[in-house]
Structure 1
């Protein structure tokens, strides 16, 4: 079981090695949408545990949500990277998320089940894929609204349209 703990810890930490390549501006720009969805995922994980949508037979630490390594590692950093290259081009964003989510629900879910990290109980892979896509759309929508309301980037675009 120690090997599983090491793999899961590495899964959470290794994506953070790429943050310096992302760029400070990009990190700050897309941080609100990524934080919003990460907080949503934490709430969803609690609900999923209660409703037995999926099951994590163990956690790295007691009383800590078992999906936390997934949320703070590949999801958080991956979302920043996907936003960097696809934000403003929704169809490409949607396609990239479809590919990444499909990879997760097929390849990664099999591996996680094999190492005893997670199993689906009341959710099928298809339902999980649909849930992932809805969350991707919600995160994009949140980022769009955030930039429109709070960011100077959205306000500059509005001013230039009015002139």
Structure 2
């Protein structure tokens, strides 16, 4: 059952992207991939410094450091959806991220721990992890602002 849940977390979220216009997916995929890189680095640091371990979420045997189903599946897609509905509305974006990150760490994560999907080994208080997640959210928001500016279509001058 655990493997079915983990594979579902990796694959099923991508099906929800079919509900979006491809322009929207194309617009927000870079920020979602950037967040994936940030999370990958954070999990590497957590492993190195002993902040937490994610031993229960392995799909392949070699993915003991980073929970592949979550980081490369569900979370990547969630970033796209959150940006779709909240980008350019910073306070709404921040509120949604606080609610999602807090809800995940205080409600979903403990349930996943009881199911054996994630470990409960952590040296950081939950609030510190939530704060880290919120700071990542602010970083990627700034990245998307920059990304939108860089890829703005230049205005074509018309001769009268």
Report the TM-score when normalising by structure 1: 0.87
Could you tell me whether the CA contact under 8 Å between 2:59 and 2:68 is conserved in 1?
Answer: no
Q: Is this contact kept in 2: 1:42–1:68, CA < 8 A?
A: no
Alignment map for 1:46-57 (pairs within 5 Å): 46-57=44-55
Instruction: Kindly report which structure 2 residues correspond to 1:9-158, keeping only aligned pairs within 5 A, or say none.
Output: 9-58=7-56, 59-64=58-63, 65-116=65-116, 117-148=118-149, 150-153=150-153
Report the CA distance between 1:110 and its aligned residue: 0.6
Q: Tell me how far apart the structure 1 counterparts of residues 121 and 144 of structure 2 sit (CA, whole Å).
A: 30
Q: Bigger CA drift: 48-57 or 77-86?
A: 48-57
- Cα drift, residue 27 of structure 1: 0.5
Q: Could you say which structure has the higher helix fraction?
A: 1
Aligned to 1:8: 6
User: Which portions of structure 1, spanning 4 or more consecutive aligned residues, are displaced by more than 6 angstroms?
Assistant: none
Q: Residue 60 of structure 1 contacts residue 66 of structure 1 at CA under 8 Å; is this kept in 2? A: no
Measured at CA, do residues 83 and 62 of structure 1 come closer, stay the same or move farther in structure 2, by a change above 3 Å?
Answer: same
**Please, which runs of 5 or more residues in structure 1 have no aligned partner?**
none
User: Any unmatched runs of 5+ in structure 2?
Assistant: none
